[in-house]
């Protein structure tokens, strides 16, 4: 796997650095807001186009990588610049590019330091793509931390009243997790070096390190600290509702759609393959936390007076489903988890887009001040209804496909877990319907902006809606590319 | 043929999608025309494939998802059971769509209505035609969604939207059991195909079969508003009347019966589950009939009567007679759709008045509606020779023919229910039609479309008995034969006369009681029994106390106690703790020279002292 696949053109690097190049251009053209906006849009569209190009042309080469790049970077420490893309990372990169386009489009009218805003959004793009492609631990860590800074700024500068509180909470939570991960990475590096004499941070080599069970458990816990915070797994989720509530629309889209996915991705790409025995021991704990979080977050969501917090808790609940699938540890459940990850990325982003639009029109996030939106905004409300039902798992719409595969897979190995999780689906209906009820039905609360959807908003919502329906009715094109990576990752886990 | 079969479900789907996307831009009659056209087309297509039903037709359109050994196709299965349902659903739906075009004449938001109505028909047909349980589940949830949207159609009133939400959530409780059954069946047999499962049920051990059958029963109870998941149906009457006629009378509420019939080879293997189904059906039938005795709103009377009649169908399934269940399902669909649509006309005539105590003398406002409604009531009450009479009689005969104490008790309860049914039917007739008009509202005319759609339903309701005429009346149980079921009761001619005699007597007795009590109008008497029945045995209050409030408390506890109190409290405590700690540390570095000197002196003393001590020691 370490052998360098001959590539004429570093396509992955292009994909990765393109958004950052956009940032530089933004700085050059910082005088003109218009051009920066267009630049951000064009850059992300280009990333999306390249991603789609790869999706349609690339076929799996050696070791299951579609594209692989490897250069030596800091030789003294054995740090490489290694990027690899398999079906799974391809889908996540596509999701990133797509949601970035959405994020730019919904922040079109932002008026507080727009150039800075769009630069940060672009920077997030590079960070996400880097996380999904990096195969060297240090490189991964670099992008992992790079996500933190723009997001911190987005929440802290463009957020609502309690933005600083939320931003600091987010920062402290994620940083404390990832510092532990960095420690474990260095520890692993040293141990591997002592054993083999080769000091390297390459994921593939480090998988071969021989560890005692105690060492494995300690390292695993450190890695999981970073990932569990990002997922977020109960009880490490407390930063998310605040971050969502305060973040601007685009920030919420990136948070729910992408940032949370990096946690799950980290677990399956790094934590499980590096420490298979510890992972195996932790599965029941993971399952219990996931199940508990699923119910707990749903119950808390049901009580929220703020619509953004409600949807934030619904994310915690859905991610509980994803982790449950991982804990079930079989092909179907894992494919379901990956699928739900993508589907949730789309639906939750769509939900946050809706909430941003609702806020634009009503000036409020509070349930008690909303209602009867259908009366003045039927088109907006129809999309709201569609995305809400996708989120609560209506068959034929996005989330259901992932959930049912998770349930089928989980039932095969752990019938009881699956049966309990089914009840979670009911809870989703209860809190989502409360949201729908309080926003679009009921007596009308006069919105101060009567304008129904404008063209730019149609452009955002129609692709989202089509995607939500397509992913629900025909998820097969997504299941095919993740099949092989999932099989490989399961084998590396080395469990039966 | 296969294309025609696919067309049956694709037409309503495309009608719904077109109306949902563009309906608001279309001029007045077009959404209604598109919707009705789609359903009528679907009806014609189903007639077209009908000859293929005996041979059975199966087709896979595409693979929905496949992962590992799990595969779910979008596949259709057309056999006699499905055929009977498809023809009924598309036929009744066509009439109701046309009726709705008249009913919704003045509604501003009619595009949304027709989009949802068409999507409903699509989802219902998916339930019927699905060849695997997951696709059936798609339809199952789809009808739930459309029902939700249509019950709350007049969303400006919070009660309506709440009724929709209640319907969705309560039926979803049933769906949990359905989901678990599907998951389990896949885990056991490695397939979710309905035919595959049914042909392999003997591989399963009896206990598992019983639990699976009970899980399916749970799912069926939710959708079909049977005990204990019945409380949503009366509230669902908040929706427009065509919706009540289509969804909450003729089609969706019978989906549970259809599910049990579909999975009959599995269900029938377990005597315990069969007894449970019988019992649930019988008790629901009786419960709902008692509730109907005291209702004031015309649609609520009909809602409880629907619940009660669906109870009879469950009873039939539990007694092992699929053909009796389907027979009653068909006749009931016709006459209950007729009754609801008639009720819609009456409400319209009475100036949007729902309360039967505010009606009276409605006979003279529209003669055709009067006769048609009475025809429906006769079917419901089981008047001799109507469709409802034959189908109900077949079910009761099945119970009687079993010949043990349990089934005699079932039969007895069934007869008691029939007595109540006859009584409340005629109570409704007398209160609505007899005497003088008592209402405040101004009666006004009816759109013609609304009346014209009723006669075909009356015809099928009254003549429905011909579908499955017993030998005694010169028939040969045609429907049962066509469905390929040999599940009819064997009773001697003597007992058969006895059963028919009892049924007729019960019908007449109910009529007589109603005649004596309601011939002359009197103010409704207020007594505790009446109140108890009016509130449907106070189940809503009971469930509120038993489930809703504890659930709310639990959620509140999670939020206030767990989230805000424990987790955020801990975090904020940590934050303010370290804040305070660092604050006190900061005073050490506040830039005051004397304090620094003091510190320096103490430190110096300590160090010197330490070395001195060491030197001494």
Contact indicator for A323, A234 with CB cutoff of 8 Å: no
B187, B236 in Cβ contact below 8 A?
A: no
Q: How far off is chain B from A392, nearest CA to CA, in Å? A: 11
- Provide the pLDDT for residue A235: 86
Q: How many CB atoms lie within 10 A of CB A138?
A: 21
Write down the pLDDT at residue A2: 38
Residues with Cβ within 8 Å of B367's Cβ and at least 6 positions away in sequence, in order, are: none
pLDDT at B606 over 90: yes
Q: Enumerate the residues of chain A whose CB falls inside 8 A of the CB of residue B559.
A: 299-300, 303-304
Q: Which residue is it, tokens 């005649």?
A: B515
Beta carbon pairs, A and B, within 8 Å: 134
Q: What is the rounded distance in angstroms from the CA atom of residue A259 to the CA atom of residue A245? A: 15
Beta-bridge partner residues of B77: B58
For residue A310, which residues of chain B lie inside 8 Å, CB to CB?
A: none
Which H helix or E strand runs over B76? strand B70-78
Residue-level pLDDT at A1:
37
What H or E segment, with its residue span, contains residue B73? strand B70-78
For residue A270, the tally of other CB atoms under 10 A from its CB is 23
Contacts of A422 in chain B (CB under 8 A): 176, 179-180, 183
Q: Where are the domains of chain B?
A: 1-131, 132-537, 544-616
State residue A73 phi and psi, 5-degree precision.
Answer: -120, -65
B30 vs A452, higher pLDDT? B30
Helices (H), B74-191: 80-103, 110-129, 133-151, 158-189
| Two structure tokens written together for A67 | 């594209």
Measure the CA–CA gap between A453 and A455, rounded to whole angstroms.
7
Residue B201 near residue B269 (C-beta atoms within 8 A): yes
Let me know if A45 is exposed, middle or buried by CB neighbors in 10 A (0-12, 13-18, 19+).
Answer: middle
ipTM for this model: 0.91
Instruction: State the nearest Cα–Cα gap between A259 and chain B, in angstroms.
Output: 22
Mean pLDDT by 10 residues, chain A (496 residues): 52 90 89 88 93 82 75 88 90 93 90 89 93 93 92 91 90 90 93 89 88 91 92 88 91 91 93 90 92 92 91 92 92 92 94 91 85 86 93 91 93 91 90 91 73 86 94 90 87 62
Please report the pLDDT score of residue A6 as a whole number: 46
Strand partners, B59: B76
Which of A238, A252, A127 lies closest to A172 in space, CA to CA?
A: A238
Residue matched to tokens 């809400």 = A388
Tokens of B475: 């028939």
Residues 465-484 of chain A whose Cβ lies under 8 A from any Cβ of chain B: 473-476, 479, 483
Cβ distance of A300 and B169 shorter than 8 Å: no
Is residue A353 a contact partner of residue A98, using CB atoms and an 8 Å limit? Answer: no
Q: Using an 8 Å Cβ cutoff, are B464 and B373 in contact?
A: no
Q: What is the reported pLDDT for B212?
A: 94
Q: What is the pLDDT of residue A490?
A: 85
DSSP strand pairing (A79-85 vs A67-74): antiparallel
The 8 Å CB, 24+ separation contacts for B263-268 are B263/B194, B263/B197, B263/B198, B263/B213, B263/B216, B264/B198, B264/B317, B264/B322, B265/B198, B265/B199, B265/B201, B266/B197, B266/B198, B266/B201, B266/B209, B266/B212, B266/B213, B266/B216, B267/B213, B267/B216, B267/B217, B267/B317, B268/B320
User: Distance between CA B422 and CA B378 in Å, rounded?
Assistant: 8
pLDDT band (50, 70, 90) for residue B24: confident
Interface of A with B in 409-438 (CB under 8 A): 409, 411-412, 415, 418-419, 422-423, 425-426, 429-430, 433-434, 437
Using an 8 Å Cβ cutoff, are A85 and A93 in contact?
yes
- Measured between CA atoms, the residue of chain A closest to residue B558 is A300
The closest alpha carbon to B449, from B377, B522, B344, B545, belongs to B344
Measure the CA angle with vertex A283, ends A277 and A286; round to 5°: 135
* Cis amide linkage into residue B527, ω under 30° from 0: no
Q: CB–CB of B144/B152 below 8 Å? A: no
What's residue A494's pLDDT? 56
Residues of B in contact with A477 (CB under 8 A): none
Chain A residue whose CA is closest to B183: A408
Q: Percent of chain B having pLDDT more than 90?
A: 49
Task: Write down the pLDDT at residue A493.
Answer: 65
Q: How far apart are CA B225 and CA B216, in angstroms?
A: 14
Nearest to B100 by CA among B88, B85, B110: B110
pLDDT of residue A385: 93
pLDDT tens per residue across span B471-529:
888 778 888 888 888 778 788 888 888 889 999 999 999 999 999 888 887 777 778 88
């Amino acid at each position: 796997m370490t052998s360098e696949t001959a590539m004429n053109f570093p396509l992955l690097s292009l994909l990765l650095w393109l958004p950052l190049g956009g940032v530089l251009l933004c700085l050059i053209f910082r005088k003109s807001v218009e051009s920066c906006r267009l630049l951000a849009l064009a850059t992300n569209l280009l990333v999306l186009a390249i991603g789609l190009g790869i999706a349609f042309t690339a076929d799996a080469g050696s070791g299951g990588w579609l594209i692989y790049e490897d250069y030596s970077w800091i030789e003294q420490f054995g740090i490489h610049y290694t990027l690899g893309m398999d079906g799974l990372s391809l889908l996540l990169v596509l999701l990133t590019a797509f949601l970035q386009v959405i994020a730019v489009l919904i922040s079109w009218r932002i008026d507080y330091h727009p150039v800075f805003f769009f630069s940060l959004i672009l920077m997030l793009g590079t960070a996400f793509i880097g996380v999904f492609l990096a195969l060297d631990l240090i490189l991964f860590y670099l992008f992992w931390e790079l996500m933190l800074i723009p997001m911190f700024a987005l929440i802290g500068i463009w957020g609502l009243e309690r933005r600083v509180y939320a931003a600091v909470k987010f920062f402290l939570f994620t940083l404390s997790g990832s510092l532990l991960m960095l420690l474990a990475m260095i520890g692993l590096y040293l141990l591997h070096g002592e054993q083999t004499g080769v000091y390297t941070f390459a994921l593939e080599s480090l998988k071969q390190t021989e560890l005692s069970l105690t060492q494995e458990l300690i390292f695993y816990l450190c890695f999981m600290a970073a990932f569990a915070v990002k997922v977020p797994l109960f009880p490490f989720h407390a930063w998310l509702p605040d971050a969502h509530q305060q973040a601007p629309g685009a920030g919420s889209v990136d948070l729910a759609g992408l940032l949370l996915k990096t946690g799950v991705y980290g677990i399956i790409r790094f934590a499980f393959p590096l420490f298979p025995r510890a992972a195996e021991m932790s599965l029941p704990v993971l399952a219990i936390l996931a199940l508990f979080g699923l119910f707990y977050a749903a119950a808390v969501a049901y009580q929220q007076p703020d619509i953004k917090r409600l949807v934030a808790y619904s994310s915690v609940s859905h991610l509980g489903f994803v982790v449950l699938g991982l804990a079930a540890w079989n092909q179907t459940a894992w494919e379901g988890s990956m699928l739900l990850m993508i589907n949730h990325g789309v639906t939750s982003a769509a939900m946050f887009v809706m909430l941003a639009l609702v806020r634009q029109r009503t000036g409020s996030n509070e349930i008690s001040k909303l209602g009867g939106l259908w009366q003045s905004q039927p088109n907006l409300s129809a999309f709201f209804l569609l995305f809400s039902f996708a989120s609560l798992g209506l068959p034929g719409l996005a989330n259901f496909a992932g959930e049912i595969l998770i349930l089928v897979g989980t039932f095969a190995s752990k019938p009881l877990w699956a049966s309990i999780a089914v009840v979670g689906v009911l809870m989703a209906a209860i809190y989502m319907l409360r949201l729908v009820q309080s926003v679009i039905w009921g007596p009308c609360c006069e919105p101060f902006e009567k304008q129904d959807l404008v063209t730019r908003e149609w452009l955002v919502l129609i692709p989202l809606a089509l995607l939500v329906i397509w992913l629900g009715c025909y998820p097969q094109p997504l299941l095919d590319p993740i099949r092989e990576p999932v099989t490989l990752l399961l084998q590396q886990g080395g469990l039966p | 043929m296969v294309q025609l079969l696919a067309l049956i479900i694709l037409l309503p789907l495309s009608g719904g999608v077109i109306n949902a996307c563009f309906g608001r831009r279309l001029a007045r009659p077009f959404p209604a025309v598109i919707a009705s056209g789609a359903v009528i087309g679907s009806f014609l297509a189903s007639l077209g494939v009908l000859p293929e039903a005996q041979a059975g037709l199966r087709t896979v359109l595409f693979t929905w998802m496949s992962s590992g050994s799990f595969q779910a196709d979008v596949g259709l299965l057309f056999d006699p059971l499905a055929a009977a349902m498809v023809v009924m659903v598309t036929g009744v739906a066509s009439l109701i769509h046309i009726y709705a075009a008249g009913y919704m004449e003045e509604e501003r938001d009619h595009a949304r209505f027709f989009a949802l109505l068409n999507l409903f028909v699509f989802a219902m047909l998916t339930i019927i035609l699905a060849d695997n349980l997951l696709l059936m589940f798609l339809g199952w949830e789809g009808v739930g969604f459309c029902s939700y949207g249509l019950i709350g159609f007049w969303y400006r009133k919070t009660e309506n939207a709440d009724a929709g939400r209640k319907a969705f959530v309560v039926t979803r409780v049933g769906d949990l059991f359905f989901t678990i059954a599907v998951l389990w069946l896949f885990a056991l047999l490695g397939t979710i195909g309905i035919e595959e499962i049914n042909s392999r049920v003997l591989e399963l051990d009896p206990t598992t079969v019983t639990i699976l059958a009970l899980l399916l029963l749970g799912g069926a109870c939710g959708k079909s508003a049977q005990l204990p998941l019945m409380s949503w149906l009366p509230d669902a009457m908040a929706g427009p009347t065509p919706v009540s006629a289509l969804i909450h009378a003729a089609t969706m509420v019978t989906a549970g019966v259809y599910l049990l019939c579909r999975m009959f080879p599995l269900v029938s293997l377990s005597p315990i589950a069969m007894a449970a189904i019988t019992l649930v059906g019988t008790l629901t039938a009786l419960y709902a009939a008692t509730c109907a005795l005291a209702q004031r709103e015309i649609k609520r009377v009909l809602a409880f009567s629907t619940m009660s009649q669906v109870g009879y169908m469950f009873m039939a399934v539990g007694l092992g007679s699929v053909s009796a269940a389907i027979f009653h399902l068909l006749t009931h669909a016709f006459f209950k759709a007729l009754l609801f649509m008639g009720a819609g006309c009456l409400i319209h005539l009475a100036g949007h008045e729902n309360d039967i105590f505010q009606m009276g003398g409605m006979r003279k406002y529209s003669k055709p509606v009067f006769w048609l409604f009475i025809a429906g009531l006769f079917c419901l009450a089981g008047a001799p020779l109507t469709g409802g009479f034959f189908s109900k009689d077949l079910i009761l005969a099945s119970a009687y023919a079993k010949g043990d104490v349990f089934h005699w008790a079932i039969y007895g309860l069934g007869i008691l229910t029939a007595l109540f049914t006859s009584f409340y039917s005629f109570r409704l007739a007398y209160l609505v039609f007899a005497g003088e008009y008592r209402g405040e509202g101004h009666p006004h005319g009816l759109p013609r479309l609304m009346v014209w759609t009723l006669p075909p339903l009356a015809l099928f309701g009254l003549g429905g008995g011909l579908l499955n005429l017993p030998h005694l009346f010169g028939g040969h149980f045609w429907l049962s034969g066509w469905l390929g079921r040999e599940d009819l009761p064997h009773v001697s001619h003597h007992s058969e006369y006895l059963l028919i005699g009892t049924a007729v007597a019960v019908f007449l007795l109910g009529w007589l009681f109603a005649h004596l009590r309601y011939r002359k109008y009197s103010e409704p008497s207020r007594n505790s029994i009446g109140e108890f029945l009016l509130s449907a045995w106070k189940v809503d209050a009971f469930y509120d106390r038993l489930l809703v409030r504890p659930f709310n408390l639990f959620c509140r506890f999670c939020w206030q106690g767990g989230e805000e109190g424990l987790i955020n409290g801990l975090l904020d405590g940590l934050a303010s703790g370290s804040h305070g700690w660092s604050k006190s540390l900061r005073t050490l570095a506040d830039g005051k020279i004397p304090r620094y000197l003091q510190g320096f002196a103490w430190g110096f003393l300590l160090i010197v002292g330490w070395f001195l001590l060491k030197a001494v020691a």
